[in-house]
Amino acid sequence: MFSLLKTSSLALAMFATLGCAVGPDYAAPQAVEQIQLNQPYQQAAQATRWWRAFDDAELNRLVSIALEQNRSLVKAQANVTRASAIFNDADNDWLPKGSLDAGYQASENSTIATNDNNVISRGNTVGANLSWDLDLFGKIRRATEAAAANAQQADALWHEAQVQIISQVASSYGDFRGAQMRLQVAEQNLKNLQQTRNIVEVRSQAGFASDFEMARVDAQYYEIKTMVPGLSTDLLRAKATLSALLGFAPGELTLTEASPLPQLSQPIGIVDSRDYLRFRADIAAAERRLAVSTADIGVATADLYPALSVKGFLGFVSAPGLALNAANQAWSVAPTLSWQAGDLGSVKAKIRAANASAKMALADFEQEVLNAVNEIELSLHAYNLSREQQLFSELQYKASTKAMLIARVRYEAGSGEFYDLLDAERAWLSSRDQLAQFQHLSFEKLVSVYRVFGGGLAIERQEV
């Protein structure tokens, strides 16, 4: 009996190896338009620590908490575990499957024969039930390919989630520090306006200034005052966003006192941006989706051909009370060949749908590449332009400060016009707030550069 089973199994295994995998064999695209994609995806070495280049202890603390507690990252990591488990399940589908079963059966009048009338029969069954789906045309192989690509996609999406969450934390932290900085500027401006008001008040008492001049100073003072609630709202919004990203309930997050916006100690230079496409996890995820869709074509195409499965039993069958011995041994082998010959129209429709899904996945992948290249180029230009704005704003602030001081000295000495002082102070107050905004904008654009480079930005130090 055992020799027969071994011989049958060997014959079936040899027959199974003669099968081929139908459907297209997948090959990753090597180029999109003129963009070469010769390097495979790899997570950048700096992807989960690029923000440390800012050397900001508070930012380091916040990002570390987010990497541990952010719910989107927990979900993405769980998705990796799930996809890996699904692949492990699919990867062994080509092997025989079996179960150990023990059963008891009792029946009366089990057949229509008159001899069985009022006859009660009982029996025990103990043994192994086996089944084996032979992969004649590669359906299981293609399904395994799809599951493997899906697991790799889940891993890439987890990497992408890490880059996105880190960037969001850094950006929200920049929003918080930027709002703090503008509030400090507003408070200092109010103090300076109060000094001007004191000067005007003294001159008014001496008869050298009018109520009109006092009213103009007050109007400028309250103009700054109206900015404070909005800036306070920006501060609260940034803190609430950080709390959500870090997995904290309202009121749980504590931040250090006001400190400058994070910044790099030196200017940066960036090499050819297209080399960084290999660090883009979103492109890798799109490419893996394309691999899944291509494998699905083979899964659907395999249904055009017959499928062979084998079921068997090896064990003992006996009446109640009898011992399980060689006399009670039982076995069975039942090969089954099935073919969806009567439903080929439905099979072909599924194949057309799978081909269309693959075309959609290819279009998505190509669009991801084009979006990434343009996003990288735009982020570099936007950052460089924001740096120019910041530098010009610094020069404007210095010039307006000088003009304001000269106008104040002249006004106090009685040789300057009040309108000159008022205009100089308005320009100075505006330039201070504008500089704070451009400093914040430059930080935002720099964070965006790191994000679109997949955290793999290579920095070349330049001389200042």
Q: What does the domain layout of the chain look like in residue ranges?
A: 20-93+137-304+350-461
Please answer whether residues 171 and 51 qualify as being in contact, where contact means their C-beta atoms are separated by less than 8 angstroms. no
Taking only the tens place, the pLDDT of each residue in 263-296 is: 876 666 566 656 788 999 999 999 999 999 999 9
The whole-angstrom separation of Cα 328 and Cα 442 is: 84
The whole-angstrom separation of Cα 265 and Cα 263 is: 6
- Domain made up of 20-93+137-304+350-461: CATH architecture: Up-down Bundle (1.20)
The whole-angstrom separation of Cα 277 and Cα 274 is: 6
Is pTM beyond 0.95? Reply is no
Question: Which DSSP symbol is given to 24?
Answer: P
Whether residue 326 has pLDDT greater than 50: yes
Tokens read off for 331? 């076995």
Contacts of 132 (CB under 8 A, 6+ apart): 12, 95, 96, 97, 309, 310, 311
First and final CA of the chain: distance in angstroms? 86
Place of tokens 């050397």: 55
Whether residue 356 has pLDDT greater than 90: yes
Q: How many CA atoms lie within 13 A of 306 on its CB side?
A: 7
State the average pLDDT over residues 104-122.
69
Rounded mean pLDDT of the chain?
86
Taking only the tens place, the pLDDT of each residue in 83-111 is: 999 999 898 888 889 898 888 877 766 66
Whether residue 17 has pLDDT greater than 50: no
Distance of CA 99 to the CA centre of its chain: 41
